[in-house]
Structure 1
Amino acid sequence: MHSNTCFSRKLWTVLGLLPLLTATGIQAQGTVGETNIRTYTIGGTIGIQGHGYTTTRDFNRRAPLGAMTTVNLNYTLLGFQSGLNIRYSTDDNQFRQSMNEISFSGSWRWISLTAGDVSPSHARYGLSGTSFRGGRMELTPGAVTFDLAAGRVNRAIRGNRPQDLREPAYERWIYAGKIGFGNPGTSYFNLSTLYGKDSAGSVDFMDETDETSPVTRPRPTPAENLALTPDFQISLFQQAFKIGAQTTFSAYTRDTGSKPLDMDEIGIPSFLTGIYNPRSSSRISFAGTATTELDINPFQLRVGYERIQPGFETMGLRQVRDDNQTWNIQPRISFLNQKIALDGSYRFGNDNLLSNRVITQNRQDISVNARSMISSSFSLGLGYSNFLNKTETSGTNEGLAEGGQQQSSQVFQIMPTYTLMGTTTSHSFSLAGIYQTLDARFPSAYGAGSSTSSTINTMLNHTVSFQSGFSVNTGINYMKGEASGADFDAWGINAGTGYAFFERKLNVSANFSISQNSFSRPAGEQIFTNKSRQLNANMNASYRLTPTNNLRFNLRTLNNSLLEGAGQSFSELEARIQIDHRF
């Protein structure tokens, strides 16, 4: 009953925005005096969508019914620019972070303000595109720029019962600032800072003595973070040569309830303790990048280095892989007015930077690609890549680390494309052939073991378009491979068509596909086989009701049939209808 009431309330919230479809149809007219400054202008889009979903699975991947509304509004008033963005969905609950968005923005000359959901990006390992609900102010008076932002990153997620699928989370707030000098496209220097903290009292955990719902997972602890990032780039010789680097220094406290450290012993100035107070669970680490670019037509070269120290954490990124370093070299050259282009990439790196772990992983990735426009209708692409991943432990053993393992892979690609243009029709043919090998070596009870596999994959697509607006596309693909005595193959056929009716006011398209895959491997004296078939259908329709209103409809179905072996057959059906208004 509660879920139905909650859904109804959210649905009425979505429908409550319907009057905006007509209320915002007012257009700006008139100017101020004899100037070209309009009194006001208004424009944007509003969309409302409803969907239904059903499946024969044991669980639903999304809500059976739902609605979503989006608003994108831009207007000016006496030269002042402003905007409003809203995204509201009924598919929301208290056991995960909200996906709804709302933001209001305004700007005048070099001043810009945003309130609501913002996503500033100050540094790659500082504040890097993390969305939060709060505010942002940008000042760009000239060569000097200021960017300030603050808001709530996470709302409190309560619940730590065994049946809860998601971990609880504390309410988290972030405060960030950035000051920059120079031109972002050429030479500049930026300095950004970030402070984030969890609200320790935002989540109430149940008593551990509660026998009806015992706590079986570790409880999260409230954290705190202070980060500082210097960032610079120098451009020389009319941007033919660039060099730049940025490093984020992060002090991260995993538990704000841990014991504070004595400031006299660690030598931190007392004025900093008012912002960040180090504790026994605090760690200081860094992550950074350095790049060099050379651009002398027709040759380009980019060399980069990335290093993330062990234990590095930051609240400016949702996820970061620490204890890792990577070198990257990317050359590119073109000939004959870019009709022939060659580019390559060489990446290598490793973890265990402090050599304090038993296992070290080394990676190497080499790729070369060639593209050629042989004629106005025919082009050819070739590619080769080699990937090596080697895990080492203490000791060595004839090309393989003792207790370690190694995987190497090679991929060969060929991709020709042919286009035939006529007066009333046009044809496009594309072919892709991919051959991949994989070799793995690993320790076993009988010494060093190994396994190999190979896969070949081909795809052919054809599209024909008519001047009337009718089009047909078809495609086939086939894959076959083997690995350690096992065989697998897959094939698929797809076809689609589209047509525009009533002077292109109504556009209809439909796509259908069928695919089948099988896998066989020996199991003692028997052969274990698993085979399934998939049927997919997708239909889209769009009708222009008025010059400013569109109605869209989408129907999608999926049927998975188990032909042989273990598994489950199921089907899905989903329908979406959406109306858009542009003003």
Structure 2
Amino acid sequence: MIRKTTILIVFNVFTGLLFAQQVDLEKIGKIGSNKPIAISGGLSAGNVFYGGNQQSGRQDWTYYLNGTVNFNLFGQVNIPLSMNLTNLGANLSYPSLPNRLSFHPTYKWVTGHIGDVSMNFSSYTLSGHQFTGAGVDLTPGKLKIGVMGGRLLKRVEYDVSNPSVMPNYSRIGAGVKVQYDDAKYSVGMIYFGAKDKAESSMFQTMDSLGITPMQNNAFSWNATLNLIKNMNLTVEYAISLLTRDSRAPEEDGSFIDGILGRKTSTSAYHAVNARLNYQLQKNTIGIGYERIDPGYKTLGAYYFNNDYENITLNFARPFLKNDKANVAVSFGAQHDNLDNTKEESSEKYVGSVNLNYNPTENLQTSLNFSTFQSYRNIKSQFDYINETSPYDNMDTLRFVQLTQNLDASIMYTFKKTEKQQQRINLNASYQESADRQGGISLPGNVSRFLNSALGYGIQFIPQGINITSSVNASYNYGGAIESYTIGPMIGVTASFFKKKLTAGASTAYNMNINEGNVQAKVLNCRANASYRIKKRHNFNASIVWQNRDIKDKKKTDAVTATVAYTYSF
């Protein structure tokens, strides 16, 4: 009895030292059979040597000593320690009482959340907002229940000496989520409520800053139905009753309005999200729709996008014999200004096509294309003052942002045996973006990027040797200026003594050309080696030499060498 009491005391003391630990209470009864303390960690020491004529501000020699230790108590609680020491300074990290604590005990199908925690009900109600309090998730079977309650915001008064800190009223919130999941359908309901504590002592200052005590009641209903075989429909509808100023007089209304505390400053906002998925033989088809009212907001989220309506379409299926080709197509459209009250509205269109074709086991190809278009329509009051017909200046204040991406890759393995593999690969990506007004690209607002690489690799399997080489090139156009970068690379890695020793070396050269003139040449040479002894000891060494030849600047050389030792336990 004394032993068990001591174990529980130690357990409770050390959990107070942790930021967040999840403890399975179902195993507490077996805690006495676990090892009281298990220690693990590692130690590393090394030296870094630097030399050269580059003005990098680095020291010629740096040493470091790093260590980590973790104490595991009875297989349930972890207490980490870490330290690092260099000739630039030292630091020690150890468990201490943090600003935020959380505890997540579990027992069978019950999970608790205590302290500074967060829960997620849905994006329209409670969506990851941290609170100080308690919550619980119950998952006894098909029925799932989540409950939470606590302080969402701590009272913060305005500080003249620190105006960057946003003041706010103390905010308390509570919520519940009930979900029933069956093989053929699922239904759920969510309620979340939050209210600021209106303190008269803060009114004058907060009102001058445009901050009022708020109140929110948000409801959500969701359902998923399997309409027919391989077809399902998912729908969520949410309504948020947001009171901008809880000091406003109550509104004469129904009995429900009285329960919810509806005021004259209360507005109702709606959101709906629906998606239909259908699997027809090898075809996958999806349609999605979402609409969120202008002004929709929930106090259970830090940030919320509203005033938009979008629709998405997607299609995917394999083709050819043995599904050697796969095609996936998606499209999305979004627009805002749903109530037509903004002076500026926007439309966005997104589309993509992905094609993968693998005609043989040794040849793989892929092609991906995506496009994004954003339209901004600005309505100025002068449009109405100066127009002489409905068709005047139709495109004058219509801005278009266009971005297109194209990626392609080919990999061919032309030799594949138990002793050797050889392959060649080609990758290319292109991106273009432009701003247009009235159908004309704006000067200086067009950019193009092209990156490509041709590579070859050979692997000698019994010897553990890999050789890779490539030629890389890039093209950049922006602000009416063109530049190119091109250069080769070759590298080799090998393992010895039953893979206890691994070593590698590589060299790369690249040249930058701007407006037809060579601007820079860079040569890099690298080498490294690592030797492992009995899984716990590891010795590492590396060296890097770099030569830079930049136009109108002095040629520079730099060497960085590192020697290190690591021990783990």
Normalising by the residue count of structure 1, what TM-score does the alignment of the two structures yield?
A: 0.65
Structure 1 residue 457 and structure 2 residue 436: aligned? Answer: no
Contact kept? 1:439, 1:453, Cα under 8 Å: yes
Using the TM superposition, give the Cα deviation of residue 348 of structure 1 relative to its aligned residue in structure 2, in angstroms: 1.0
Structure 1 residue 269 and structure 2 residue 257: aligned? Answer: yes
The residue number in structure 2 matching 1:305 is: 289
Secondary structure at the residue paired with 1:141?
coil
Structure 1 residue 242 and structure 2 residue 232: aligned? Answer: yes
The residue number in structure 2 matching 1:324 is: 308
CA distance in 2, matches of 1:485, 1:50: 50
Aligned residues: 499
Q: 1:68 and 1:167, CA in 2 relative to 1: closer, same or farther beyond 3 A?
A: farther
The residue number in structure 2 matching 1:230 is: 221
Using the TM superposition, give the Cα deviation of residue 241 of structure 1 relative to its aligned residue in structure 2, in angstroms: 0.3
Using the TM superposition, give the Cα deviation of residue 402 of structure 1 relative to its aligned residue in structure 2, in angstroms: 3.2
Using the TM superposition, give the Cα deviation of residue 431 of structure 1 relative to its aligned residue in structure 2, in angstroms: 1.8
The residue number in structure 1 matching 2:4 is: none
Q: How does 1:510-521 map to 2 (within 5 A)?
A: none
Q: 1:148 and 1:459, CA in 2 relative to 1: closer, same or farther beyond 3 A?
A: farther
Structure 1 residue 352 and structure 2 residue 352: aligned? Answer: no
| Structure 2: gaps (5+ residues) | 1-13, 19-28, 49-54, 58-63, 85-90, 92-96, 384-389
Q: Which amino acid aligns with 1:376?
A: E
The residue number in structure 2 matching 1:188 is: 186
Q: Which amino acid aligns with 2:361?
A: S
Contact kept? 1:261, 1:279, Cα under 8 Å: yes
CA distance in 1, matches of 2:80, 2:198: 30
TM-superposition CA deviations, 1:186-244 (whole Å, max 9, x none): 5211212334456789x999x99xxxxxxxx9687665543222121112444x00101
Aligned residues: CA RMSD: 5.8
Q: Which amino acid aligns with 1:364?
A: Y
TM-superposition CA deviations, 1:372-427 (whole Å, max 9, x none): 11110111112333332222234776996331212334444322122343323434
The residue number in structure 2 matching 1:292 is: 276
TM-superposition CA deviations, 1:411-465 (whole Å, max 9, x none): 443221223433234344332223444454226xxx9664555443323344554
Contact kept? 1:414, 1:432, Cα under 8 Å: yes
CA distance in 2, matches of 1:404, 1:442: 6
- 2:482 pairs with 484, 487, 491, which one? 487
Structure 1 residue 148 and structure 2 residue 147: aligned? Answer: yes
Using the TM superposition, give the Cα deviation of residue 99 of structure 1 relative to its aligned residue in structure 2, in angstroms: 10
- 2:402 pairs with 392, 408, 427, which one? 408
TM-superposition CA deviations, 1:311-362 (whole Å, max 9, x none): 2223444433221221110001112233111110111111111111122211
Q: Which amino acid aligns with 1:192?
A: I
The residue number in structure 1 matching 2:21 is: none
Q: 1:541 and 1:363, CA in 2 relative to 1: closer, same or farther beyond 3 A?
A: farther
CA distance in 2, matches of 1:538, 1:225: 60
Q: Which amino acid aligns with 2:280?
A: I
Q: Which amino acid aligns with 1:248?
A: A
Contact kept? 1:308, 1:322, Cα under 8 Å: yes
The residue number in structure 1 matching 2:326 is: 341
Structure 1 residue 433 and structure 2 residue 428: aligned? Answer: yes
Q: How does 1:77-116 map to 2 (within 5 A)?
A: 104-115=103-114
Contact kept? 1:250, 1:312, Cα under 8 Å: yes
CA distance in 2, matches of 1:425, 1:86: 45
TM-superposition CA deviations, 1:499-532 (whole Å, max 9, x none): 6666556777888877776776xxxxxx9x9978
CA distance in 2, matches of 1:374, 1:251: 57
Secondary structure at the residue paired with 1:354?
coil
Secondary structure at the residue paired with 2:252?
helix
CA distance in 2, matches of 1:561, 1:163: 47
Secondary structure at the residue paired with 2:316?
strand
| Structure 1: gaps (5+ residues) | 1-15, 21-30, 59-64, 77-81, 93-97, 209-216, 521-526
Contact kept? 2:527, 2:544, Cα under 8 Å: no
Using the TM superposition, give the Cα deviation of residue 475 of structure 1 relative to its aligned residue in structure 2, in angstroms: 4.6
Q: Which amino acid aligns with 1:190?
A: G
CA distance in 2, matches of 1:364, 1:381: 24
CA distance in 2, matches of 1:345, 1:327: 11
CA distance in 1, matches of 2:330, 2:398: 27
CA distance in 2, matches of 1:160, 1:121: 32
Q: 1:124 and 1:535, CA in 2 relative to 1: closer, same or farther beyond 3 A?
A: farther
Contact kept? 1:83, 1:105, Cα under 8 Å: no
CA distance in 2, matches of 1:516, 1:174: 60
Using the TM superposition, give the Cα deviation of residue 157 of structure 1 relative to its aligned residue in structure 2, in angstroms: 8.1
CA distance in 1, matches of 2:195, 2:549: 50
